[in-house]
Amino acid sequence: MPRLSLLAILPALLLATACANSGANYTPVIDGPKGPNYEADLTACQQLAASGGVVDGQVAGSTAAGAGIGAASTVIWNGNSDNLGEAAAVGAIAGLASGIARQNNSRENIVRNCMAGRGYRVLG
C-alpha cells in the first residue's frame, strides 16, 4: 500500500464533512397540488431533519469500526504492522463516508415523513 500523507487524507475528510448535512436539504417529489403553505412546510421539515448533530453516534461508530477493520486487515494480509496507521486512516475515511451516507438517507426520510404528515402525497 502506498504511503498516505495528510494531504491525501484531508480532501476526503473535507468532502465527507461538507456532505454531512445534505440530506436535510432534500426536496421530495409531491403528487398533486402543493398549496399555499408548501414552502413553509418544506422549510420546517428540512429544519427538523437538520436539527440533529452533524456527527452522531452512528457516524462515530462507523468511523471507529472502519479504522479497526483497516488496521486489522493490514496486519492479517501483510503479516506485520508497518503501515498500521495508514490502513486505519483509510478505514476510518471509508467508515466516515458510510456513516454520513446513512445519516443523509435518514434525514431524507425525515423530510419525506414530515411532509406526508402535513398532508402531502409524497412519491419519493
Q: What are 40-93's pLDDT values in tens digits?
A: 999 999 999 988 765 556 666 766 777 777 777 766 776 666 777 777 777 777
DSSP class per residue in the chain: -PPPPHHHHHHHHHHHHHTTTGGGG----EES---TTHHHHHHHHHHHHHTS-SS-HHHHHHHHHHHHHHHHHHHHHHSS-TTHHHHHHHHHHHHHHHHHHHHHHHHHHHHHHHHHHTT-EE--
Domain-located, residue 15: no
Tell me: pLDDT of 117 over 80. Answer: yes
For 58, the domain range is: 54-124
Domain-located, residue 16: no
pTM confidence score? 0.65
Residue 20 pLDDT class (50, 70, 90 cuts): low
- How many structural domains are present in the chain? 1
Rg of the chain over Cα atoms, rounded to whole angstroms, equals: 19
Domain-located, residue 105: yes
Domain-located, residue 39: no
Domain-located, residue 100: yes
| Pairwise CA distance, residues 111 & 83, whole Å | 43
Residue with cell 408548501: 38
Domain-located, residue 82: yes
Domain-located, residue 24: no
Tell me: pLDDT of 6 over 60. Answer: no
Domain-located, residue 14: no
